[in-house]
Chains A and B, each alone.
Chain A
Amino acid sequence: MKKPSVVRPKILLLAACLLIYPLVFSDAFYRDIGVTFLLAAISASAWNIVGGYAGQVSVGHSMFYGIGAYAPLLFYQLWGWPPMFGIPIGIVCSLLLAIVIGAPTLRLTGHYFSMATIAVAELIRIFTGTWDLVGAAIGLQGPAVARGWWDLTFRGELPYYYIFLGVLAVLLYVTYAIERRRFGYYLGAIKAGERAARSLGVPVRKTKIEALMLSATFTSIAGSLYSIKTGFIDPESGFGILISVQMVIIAALGGAGTLFGPLVGALILIPLQTATNTWFGGSGSGLTYILYGGIIVLIARFEPGGLFELWERIAPARWKSGHAA
């Protein structure tokens, strides 16, 4: 829906910045921030498909993230498979879960849907914490030393940075393609009003399930990337509610339902989070909750449309994305 001539230079500039970032900031600390930023941007962009574009605010997306995170390490521990073999298995499991969970919960609207997704994610987290096959409360570990490149176990952050960047690029392209197709228009119509959308022939339930499946796929991939990189997963780091909340906040902060909103949100939140962790160390572990709570209040009170909408309102016309004539 955007003028390619206006948007393309901005995209190229963004791509160039992301490509050269780890080369300019070669310190491990800054590269780690870069990797964390990309992972957060992938997760929030994946959530954005169903939460932002379709307006179905899931606060239980950690269910897909956790499945994606557990799958690579589970099959490594069970049969010694390279962790990346678990990525497609995680996707398939997440897709099945999206269908099973989505069919009943997507009948609900507003807060009821959000609460239902929290309940499901929490149930899975509690169940995983007691299931010995997946390491119960202790969790699972990946290969300590790489047996080959296929284990995707690298010493430095650089390879992870570019792998994550590649995944983010694919996800953004998919989202961009959605925006320009009937599916994207239908998502927007559903978000604005299901009753009116139905009256125009929009297959609401089918569209919502498809959006959830697509969102689950990329959220699962984000989880897999996380566990492969860290080489460890436990119920809290896979299925914890903070993971879901972070996706929602990042997308909402930048602008839910916009292509680059989650990137903007991640660009602000991740350095802020890293700074608070650095300044306050272990004693400030509860600060993340305070930070998230504060951001929710600020967004809800002052800018429900996120920073992207604020930009659209205050920026000079020639800088805005505009609409095709």
Chain B
Amino acid sequence: MLLEAQNVAKAFGDFHAVAGADLSVDEGDIIGLIGPNGAGKSTFFNCLAGDTTPTGGRISFAGQDVTTASPEAHARLGVGRTFQVPATFEDMTVLDNVMVGAFLRHPHRRDAREHARGIVELTGLNSVAHSRARSLGTPGRKRLEIARVLATNPRLMLLDESLAGLTPTELQEAIKLVRRIHEMGVTIVIVEHIMEVIMTLTRRVLVFNQGHVIASGKPEDVVKDETVITAYLGHGSRRHRSET
């Protein structure tokens, strides 16, 4: 087991954003988290990445208890994450952004640069490598975030709506990229609203609603689940499936 979250809870005062969520991720998995806005997915994600300390439960990564570990410690252990709103370093070039991630495993500039160049090429950012991050549009920034995390040589990547807001063509490119990263041996947990991404990429899906996991299983089974349809997908999705 690479990542195990048991009964994780996060409360802000009386509001329970996450109320006892479980997740187990094996090495090589690719798992999707879906649910309506405000369901607690991002808070749960923040708990997994060390950004937020849970108020209950336990999280372990590669056999180590990381429930209260800092984001830095998570990164060192091999947990990388992207942000829902891209948090690129705006005044740095794309290559320098990626180098910040690369420095985690390559303390010397020359090695970090070499490693970062490889990642920039892999993620298709070569043509903008020396442009400032602020000059990129949303797809470029999202790609850069993925590149930056990839440069830390993660064992587990947590992608928080990294494919949202892309055009159909960009989306297909991004799906290819995520698949390629997965093939490199990186385990992936992805929060996404786009069902096409979930259905295409993931092997298992967890559905969040009001801080709870209301369903989990194979994507094709989950989308037929009556609870999931009522809470998230809506009955229109069933009609849409039967039509297609």
Using an 8 Å CB-CB cutoff, how does the interface string of B59-95 with A read, 1 for contact, 0 for none?
0000000000011101110001101000111111100
Distance of A192 Cα from B90 Cα, bound (Å): 7
- State the CA gap A192–B87 with chains docked (Å): 9
Q: Given A199-B81, A200-B149, do A193 and B87 touch, yes or no (CB 8 Å)? A: yes
- Of B51, B92, B99, B109, the residue contacting A199 (CB under 8 A) is B51
Q: Are A195 and B87 interface neighbours, CB within 8 A? A: yes
Interface size on A, residues (CB 8 A): 23
User: Which of A79-99 touch B at CB < 8 Å?
Assistant: none
Contacts A199-B81, A201-B152, A202-B72 given; indicate if A185 touches B87 (C-beta within 8 A).
no
Q: Which residues of B contact A202 (CB under 8 A)?
A: 72, 100
What is the CA–CA distance of A134 and B112 in the complex, to the nearest angstrom? Answer: 50
A204 within 8 A of B: yes
**Chain A residues with CB under 8 A of B100:** 185-186, 188-189, 197, 200, 202
Q: A185-B100, A185-B103, A199-B80 are in contact. Are A180 and B109 (CB under 8 A)?
A: yes
| CB < 8 Å neighbour of A1 from B88, B96, B107, B149 | B96
Question: Which residues of chain A from 165 to 213 have any CB-CB distance to chain B below 8 Å in the complex?
Answer: 180-182, 185-186, 188-189, 191-193, 195-204
Contacts of A318 in B (CB 8 A): none
User: Which residues of A lie under 8 Å from residue B152 when comparing CB positions?
Assistant: 200-201
B108 — nearest CB in chain A belongs to which residue? A182
Q: Are A198 and B103 in contact (CB under 8 A)?
A: no
List the B side residues contacting A188 at CB < 8 Å. Answer: 89, 91-92, 96, 100
**B172, chain A: closest CB distance, angstroms:** 27
B148 at the interface (CB under 8 A from A): yes
Query: Closest CB-CB distance, A324 to chain B, in whole Å?
Result: 8
Contacts of A323 in B (CB 8 A): 93, 130
A13 CB-CB contact with B under 8 Å: no
The reply on B101 being an interface residue by CB < 8 A is yes
- Interface footprint category on B: 20 to 34
Secondary structure dominating the interface of A: helix
CA distance A323 to B95 in the complex (A): 11
Whether a CB of chain A sits under 8 angstroms from the CB of B186 is no
Name the CB-closest residue of A to B81: A199
A200 and B104 contact, Cβ closer than 8 Å, known pairs A182-B109, A185-B99:
yes
Report the minimum CB–CB distance from B191 to chain A (whole Å): 15
Interface string of B122-143 (1 = CB under 8 A from A): 0000000010000000000000
Residues of A within 8 A of B149 (CB): 199-200
CA distance A192 to B91 in the complex (A): 8
In the complex, what distance in Å separates the CA atom of A305 from the CA atom of B89? Answer: 15
Given contacts A185-B96, A185-B100, A201-B75, contact A196 B130 (CB under 8 A): no
Q: Which residue of B lies closest to A185 (CB)?
A: B100
Q: Are B51 and A195 in touch, CB under 8 angstroms?
A: yes
Most B Cβ at <10 Å: residue of A188, A197, A198, A200: A200
**B87 with A196: CB separation less than 8 A:** yes
Min CB distance, A287 to chain B, in Å?
Answer: 34
Any B CB within 8 A of the CB of A325: yes
Closest to A203 in B: B72
* 0 or 1 for each of B179-209: is its CB under 8 Å from A? (1 = yes): 0000000000000000000000000000000
Select which of A1, A191, A196 is within 8 A of B83 by beta carbon: A196
The answer, yes or no, to whether B228 is at the interface (CB within 8 Å) is no
- What is the bound-complex CA distance between A189 and B152, given in angstroms? 14
Q: A182-B103, A192-B91 are in contact. Are A201 and B72 (CB under 8 A)?
A: yes
| B92 / chain A contacts, CB cutoff of 8 Å | 185, 188-189, 192
Ordered by A's residue number, 17 sampled pairs between the chains whose C-beta atoms are within 8 Å are A185-B96, A185-B100, A186-B103, A188-B91, A189-B92, A192-B90, A193-B87, A197-B89, A198-B51, A198-B72, A199-B49, A199-B149, A200-B80, A200-B101, A200-B104, A200-B149, A325-B130
What 3 A-B pairs come out closest when comparing CB atoms?
A201-B75, A192-B89, A196-B87
Interfacial residues, chain A to chain B (CB-CB below 8 A): 1, 180-182, 185-186, 188-189, 191-193, 195-204, 323, 325
Q: Apart from A199-B71, A325-B130, what are 20 other A-B pairs with CB-CB below 8 Å?
A: A182-B109, A182-B112, A185-B96, A188-B100, A189-B100, A191-B91, A192-B91, A193-B87, A195-B83, A197-B89, A198-B72, A199-B74, A199-B83, A199-B149, A200-B100, A201-B152, A202-B72, A202-B100, A323-B93, A323-B130
